[in-house]
Amino acid sequence: MNRAKLQAFGGFLTAMVIPNMGAFIAWGFITALFIPTGWIPNEGFNELVAPMVKYMLPMMLAYSGGKLVHGERGAIAGCVGTFGLIVGSEVNMFLGAMIMGPLSAWCVKQFDRLIDGKIPAGFEMVVNNFSLGIIAMILSLCSYAAIGPVIEFANEMITSMITSLVKTGFLPLLSVVNEPAKVLFLNNVIDQGVYYPLGMQQAAEAGKSIFFMVASNPGAGLGLLLAFSFFGKGNSKKTAPGAIIIHFLGGIHEIYFPYVLMKPLMIFPMIIGSACGIMVFEFFGAGLVAGPSPGSIFAYLALTPRGNFIGILAGVVTATVISFLLASLILKTSKDNGDEKLEKSIEKSKAMKQEGKDLLASSLQTEEAEALKDIAYIAFACDAGLGSSALGATAFKKRLQKIGVEKTVRNYAIEKVPDEADAIVTHISLLDRARLKFPNRRIITIQNFMNDPNLDALFEEISNTEN
């Protein structure tokens, strides 16, 4: 359950950051283009850079975080509470907004629970508006006077640690933590919870940041999938070329995770390839102006500032080559006969990597099967509600349309699946989180959003019911 809770935390961070990525990218483009060292320096447009990073971006994070906790009232409280941090601090309050936004919303939520059912008829609007205003005012004053200095001190400590890490050359060692965490579907905790806030802070000061690339470099994953394309066996060899397109061009890194889980030794090519990529980035002093979301090579190139293209490409290519060579060596010297299917290999590896938790597909068989004749709304859910679930939902809806069946099939983050959904399709690793929120809902667990026996079974049931 600890792992599920950690994933839920990562999902919350993702839901707070991802909706605002367009704004961060917009700021990144303005920075890359119009600052004095940009592509087309412009004194007027350059004036947008500082206010956007000082006020707009933290406020957007606070709004999203507050809304996740307590809807529109929480969003308003989050913005007002966070504004005290912004005004009272000399540093950019990205981390502060990600803390104060949800915290402010939580305070309003607790007050609303306290007075629920106790407001006289006709006074609801007065109480709601004034209570929100008073609580938000108190939060803003507290954040200005007390919380802001604490967060500012913590920010200074983090900045000092970052500087020391870079100067001592230990930054590549982060790959030892990054890569195992990523393939265990904790990538959002790392990116949205750690590296993106650090990258935002660094980019605001230097115009670019290497932290946007510490865990998002698509090179290592590309090398791994290339190795499977050339030297893999069975289903892994057949599916790897398609996975390359989705991973490297589409930026959906989750597509290569099952290949590592199938053969755990592959984590070493990923770690070493990623570490070598970081070393090359450091050597060239390369960085991106904003977080590449999704982690596509196109996003990398689009967010590369002037004078950094050689370093960026060199880091990606290095990670690819190192990962490919090591992964190829493992595949060529492997003693297994290749008869075991990819899905079963993933299932076995996942069981070993989840601290003995039995979250295998067999659990699905013990659940009471509900009739599908009343199911009209199928939700595909992943950690962020993007990438793998979007691809899976689109593919499944097309399969239904080919047989003349019309169902509502949509993709969501696991925490944002609507109550209207009749059935939920999600990865086996997210089963705990799905059950926590939907204890009485039918949940179909899968290993692969694009090709999975349980998806095929679901399709057959719907087909038989409709026909």
The residues annotated with a catalytic role in the active site are: 382
CA-to-CA distance for 84 and 385, rounded, in angstroms?
Answer: 32
* Paired strand residues for 442: 423
Is the separation of the CB atoms in 306 and 203 below 8 Å?
A: no
| CA distances in angstroms from 431 to 176, 335, 358, 423, listed in the order given | 27, 33, 11, 13
Is the separation of the CB atoms in 395 and 378 below 8 Å?
A: no
Count the neighbouring beta carbons within 10 Å of the beta carbon of residue 350.
23
Question: Does the N-terminal peptide bond of residue 294 adopt cis geometry, omega within 30 degrees of 0?
Answer: yes
Q: Which two tokens stand for residue 454?
A: 């349980």
Radius of gyration of the chain (CA): 24
**Dihedrals phi, psi of 444, to nearest 5 degrees:** -100, 115
H/E segment holding residue 381: strand 377-382
CA-to-CA distance for 196 and 92, rounded, in angstroms?
Answer: 13
Exposed/middle/buried for residue 259 (C-beta within 10 Å: 0-12, 13-18, 19+): buried
Instruction: Find all residues with CB under 8 Å of 387, minimum gap 6, and list them.
Output: 250, 251, 252, 254, 294
Is the separation of the CB atoms in 207 and 243 below 8 Å?
A: no
Helix axes 196-206, 21-34, angle to 10 degrees: 20
